[in-house]
Amino acid sequence: MSDLIKDLSELRLSYEKGELYENQVSPNPHEQFLQWFNYALEAKVHEPYAMSVATCNVQGRPHVRTLLLRGATEAGYDFYTNYDSQKGQDLAENPYVELMFYWHDLERQIRIGGQVNKIPELEAIDYYHKRPRDSQIAAHISTPQSGVIESRDVLVQRFNQLHGQVGDKAELPKPEFWGGYRLQPDYYEFWQGRPNRLHDRLSYAKVDGTWKLQRLMP
């Protein structure tokens, strides 16, 4: 077994791939998000739609995990999950969420905060049936999500059992406990790494229905 690293103080990089100035960004933060997101796609960043999703329960305990962005429009930012999961329980108690995208290759980060609402059922059904068949089956058997299971073998057995039952059945109905959330933002922050830790941070906060752009200390 290799020795554990005890001192991380010398592990550091200099961020030198970009800059971010107020006259370079859109006055609309969603448009700015799309500009950066599309650039990440063109740059072939690995899974640029992967994001950290932070929730907090009624006791104030935070939980964070990585999910995939499945919609980004003026209406909001969409992700799907099991309503009975830890995140679903948190959101039932506290609907405020923060998303974070970190694109190491571009030395960029975006934070988006706001309140979520459940995506309408017909939209969730439509998205569910666009998923690969095996992913549909996994949604059925992975419940309660975040719950304790005896072993991976038990999980695989459940999957294989349902897979055998449904076979080539034309349509597997969406589980009632599975669906989506749409984040309606009231805050954005765009971060560009810079040398000497003098990073660029521009935030947008919604004030009286208007987006206010400000520069933040690194």
Catalytic residues, by residue number, are: 197
Per the annotation, does 197 bind a ligand? Answer: yes
Per the annotation, does 81 bind a ligand? Answer: yes
Per the annotation, does 201 bind a ligand? Answer: yes
Q: How far, in whole angstroms, is CA 133 from its chain's centroid?
A: 22
User: Which residue blocks in 104-207 are alpha helix, DSSP H?
Assistant: 121-128, 133-141, 152-166
Per the annotation, does 106 bind a ligand? Answer: no
Per the annotation, does 14 bind a ligand? Answer: yes
C-alpha dist (Å) from residue 155 to 82, 146, 161:
16, 13, 10
Per the annotation, does 26 bind a ligand? Answer: no
Residue 22 near residue 202 (C-beta atoms within 8 A):
yes
19-22-28-29 Cα dihedral, nearest 10 degrees: 40
Per the annotation, does 182 bind a ligand? Answer: no
Per the annotation, does 142 bind a ligand? Answer: no
Per the annotation, does 145 bind a ligand? Answer: yes
How many CA atoms, within 13 angstroms, populate the side-chain half-sphere of residue 180?
22
Per the annotation, does 198 bind a ligand? Answer: yes
d(CA 126, CA 67): 19
C-alpha dist (Å) from residue 73 to 11, 22, 34, 132, 183:
38, 23, 9, 23, 10
Q: Tokens at residue 143, please?
A: 């419940």
Query: H or E segment at 101?
Result: strand 96-103
Per the annotation, does 66 bind a ligand? Answer: yes
Per the annotation, does 87 bind a ligand? Answer: yes
List residues forming the annotated binding site for substrate: 12-15, 70, 127, 131, 135, 197-199
List residues forming the annotated binding site: 12-15, 65-70, 80-81, 87, 109, 127, 131, 135, 145-146, 191, 197-199, 201
List residues forming the annotated binding site for FMN: 65-70, 80-81, 87, 109, 145-146, 191, 201
